[in-house]
A = this chain, B = another copy of it.
Amino acid sequence: MLGVPKKYALVSGTGEADTSLAAFDAALIDAGIGDCNLVELSSILPPNAEEDDLPELPPGSIVPAVVAKAVGRGLVSSCICVGRLESGLGIVSERAATDSAETVRRLAKRDVEEMARLRGEKLVEVRTVTASTEPEDAEWAAAVAAVVFWG
Protein backbone atom coordinates (compact mmCIF):
# COMPACT_ATOMS: atom_id res chain seq x y z
CA MET A 1 0.00 0.00 0.00
CA LEU A 2 3.01 2.31 0.26
CA GLY A 3 4.40 1.57 -3.19
CA VAL A 4 7.49 0.07 -4.80
CA PRO A 5 10.58 2.31 -4.97
CA LYS A 6 11.88 3.03 -8.46
CA LYS A 7 15.22 4.61 -7.57
CA TYR A 8 17.84 4.28 -4.90
CA ALA A 9 21.17 5.75 -3.85
CA LEU A 10 23.90 4.38 -1.62
CA VAL A 11 25.19 7.05 0.74
CA SER A 12 27.46 7.29 3.76
CA GLY A 13 28.66 9.90 6.20
CA THR A 14 30.45 10.54 9.46
CA GLY A 15 30.16 13.23 12.09
CA GLU A 16 30.92 14.17 15.64
CA ALA A 17 29.25 16.26 18.31
CA ASP A 18 28.90 16.62 22.05
CA THR A 19 25.70 14.58 22.26
CA SER A 20 25.04 11.16 20.71
CA LEU A 21 21.93 12.34 18.86
CA ALA A 22 23.69 15.37 17.41
CA ALA A 23 26.59 13.18 16.27
CA PHE A 24 24.10 10.97 14.43
CA ASP A 25 22.56 14.11 12.92
CA ALA A 26 26.02 15.29 11.81
CA ALA A 27 26.63 11.95 10.08
CA LEU A 28 23.24 12.16 8.32
CA ILE A 29 24.08 15.70 7.13
CA ASP A 30 27.45 14.46 5.85
CA ALA A 31 25.62 11.65 4.01
CA GLY A 32 23.29 14.19 2.36
CA ILE A 33 20.16 13.05 4.19
CA GLY A 34 20.21 15.29 7.25
CA ASP A 35 17.04 17.16 6.29
CA CYS A 36 14.94 14.05 5.65
CA ASN A 37 12.48 12.22 7.81
CA LEU A 38 13.88 8.73 7.42
CA VAL A 39 11.59 5.70 7.72
CA GLU A 40 13.52 2.51 8.25
CA LEU A 41 12.87 -0.45 5.99
CA SER A 42 13.93 -4.07 5.99
CA SER A 43 15.97 -4.48 3.20
CA ILE A 44 15.10 -5.42 -0.36
CA LEU A 45 15.90 -3.68 -3.66
CA PRO A 46 13.07 -4.12 -6.16
CA PRO A 47 14.20 -5.96 -9.32
CA ASN A 48 13.75 -2.91 -11.53
CA ALA A 49 14.95 -0.19 -9.16
CA GLU A 50 17.72 1.93 -10.68
CA GLU A 51 20.67 3.36 -8.83
CA ASP A 52 20.96 7.10 -9.24
CA ASP A 53 22.47 10.17 -7.60
CA LEU A 54 20.54 11.35 -4.59
CA PRO A 55 18.14 14.05 -5.82
CA GLU A 56 17.30 17.27 -3.98
CA LEU A 57 14.72 15.93 -1.56
CA PRO A 58 12.37 18.62 -0.17
CA PRO A 59 13.32 19.30 3.47
CA GLY A 60 11.18 17.26 5.84
CA SER A 61 10.30 14.66 3.18
CA ILE A 62 9.40 11.22 4.47
CA VAL A 63 12.06 9.06 2.87
CA PRO A 64 12.27 5.27 3.14
CA ALA A 65 15.77 3.95 3.77
CA VAL A 66 17.77 1.01 5.03
CA VAL A 67 20.13 2.50 7.59
CA ALA A 68 23.27 1.18 9.31
CA LYS A 69 24.03 3.50 12.23
CA ALA A 70 26.89 3.39 14.70
CA VAL A 71 27.26 5.98 17.46
CA GLY A 72 29.89 5.85 20.19
CA ARG A 73 32.71 7.53 22.07
CA GLY A 74 35.44 5.69 20.15
CA LEU A 75 35.85 4.05 16.76
CA VAL A 76 32.49 3.52 15.04
CA SER A 77 31.80 1.94 11.65
CA SER A 78 28.77 1.18 9.53
CA CYS A 79 28.36 -0.77 6.33
CA ILE A 80 25.58 -1.45 3.88
CA CYS A 81 26.10 -4.36 1.49
CA VAL A 82 23.90 -4.77 -1.57
CA GLY A 83 23.85 -8.03 -3.48
CA ARG A 84 22.08 -8.45 -6.80
CA LEU A 85 20.66 -11.90 -7.42
CA GLU A 86 20.26 -13.52 -10.84
CA SER A 87 16.51 -12.89 -10.51
CA GLY A 88 17.21 -9.14 -10.43
CA LEU A 89 16.15 -8.78 -6.80
CA GLY A 90 18.62 -6.98 -4.57
CA ILE A 91 19.23 -8.06 -1.00
CA VAL A 92 20.60 -5.61 1.52
CA SER A 93 22.45 -6.16 4.78
CA GLU A 94 23.38 -3.53 7.32
CA ARG A 95 26.03 -3.76 10.01
CA ALA A 96 27.09 -1.16 12.55
CA ALA A 97 29.54 -1.57 15.42
CA THR A 98 32.09 0.06 17.66
CA ASP A 99 34.68 -1.66 15.50
CA SER A 100 36.69 -1.17 12.31
CA ALA A 101 35.46 -0.56 8.77
CA GLU A 102 37.01 -3.89 7.76
CA THR A 103 35.01 -5.76 10.39
CA VAL A 104 31.59 -4.34 9.53
CA ARG A 105 32.29 -4.77 5.79
CA ARG A 106 33.27 -8.40 6.29
CA LEU A 107 30.14 -9.07 8.39
CA ALA A 108 27.81 -7.28 5.97
CA LYS A 109 29.21 -9.19 2.99
CA ARG A 110 28.89 -12.48 4.83
CA ASP A 111 25.23 -11.66 5.56
CA VAL A 112 24.51 -11.07 1.88
CA GLU A 113 26.33 -14.25 0.82
CA GLU A 114 24.35 -16.22 3.39
CA MET A 115 21.05 -14.61 2.31
CA ALA A 116 21.77 -15.52 -1.34
CA ARG A 117 22.65 -19.09 -0.34
CA LEU A 118 19.36 -19.41 1.59
CA ARG A 119 17.44 -18.31 -1.47
CA GLY A 120 19.33 -20.80 -3.65
CA GLU A 121 20.50 -17.99 -5.90
CA LYS A 122 23.84 -16.72 -7.15
CA LEU A 123 25.09 -13.22 -6.54
CA VAL A 124 25.81 -11.42 -9.80
CA GLU A 125 27.06 -8.24 -8.11
CA VAL A 126 28.06 -7.29 -4.57
CA ARG A 127 28.69 -3.70 -3.49
CA THR A 128 29.39 -2.14 -0.15
CA VAL A 129 29.31 1.37 1.20
CA THR A 130 31.12 1.92 4.48
CA ALA A 131 31.61 4.80 6.90
CA SER A 132 34.05 4.80 9.79
CA THR A 133 35.32 7.46 12.16
CA GLU A 134 36.29 8.27 15.71
CA PRO A 135 35.77 11.45 17.73
CA GLU A 136 38.53 14.04 17.52
CA ASP A 137 37.14 17.35 18.76
CA ALA A 138 33.94 16.20 20.38
CA GLU A 139 32.66 13.54 22.73
CA TRP A 140 30.61 11.42 20.34
CA ALA A 141 31.18 10.12 16.82
CA ALA A 142 28.73 8.58 14.38
CA ALA A 143 29.05 6.65 11.14
CA VAL A 144 26.08 6.10 8.86
CA ALA A 145 25.65 4.05 5.69
CA ALA A 146 22.28 3.88 3.97
CA VAL A 147 20.26 2.88 0.94
CA VAL A 148 17.81 5.70 0.26
CA PHE A 149 14.71 5.10 -1.88
CA TRP A 150 12.57 7.43 -3.94
CA GLY A 151 10.66 7.69 -7.21
Interface residues of A (CB under 8 A from B): 1-5, 15, 17-19, 21-22, 25-26, 28-29, 34-47, 49, 58-64, 89-91, 93-95, 107, 110-111, 114-115, 117-119, 149-151
Q: Which residues of B contact A149 (CB under 8 A)?
A: 1, 37, 62
- A118 B25 Cβ-Cβ under 8 A: yes
This protein's copies in its complex: 3
Tell me the smallest distance from the CB of A83 to a CB of chain B, in Å.
11
Select the residue from A3, A37, A63, A151 with max chain B CB neighbours within 10 A.
Answer: A37
Known contacts A28-B42, A35-B44; decide if A62 and B5 are in contact (CB<8 Å): yes
- B151 A1 Cβ-Cβ under 8 A: yes
- A4 B47 Cβ-Cβ under 8 A: no
The A interface is mostly helix, strand or loop, or mixed, namely mixed
Q: How far is the CA of A1 from the CA of B62 in the complex (A)?
A: 7
Tell me the smallest distance from the CB of A100 to a CB of chain B, in Å.
18
Q: How far is the CA of A46 from the CA of B15 in the complex (A)?
A: 23
Q: How far is the CA of A151 from the CA of B62 in the complex (A)?
A: 13
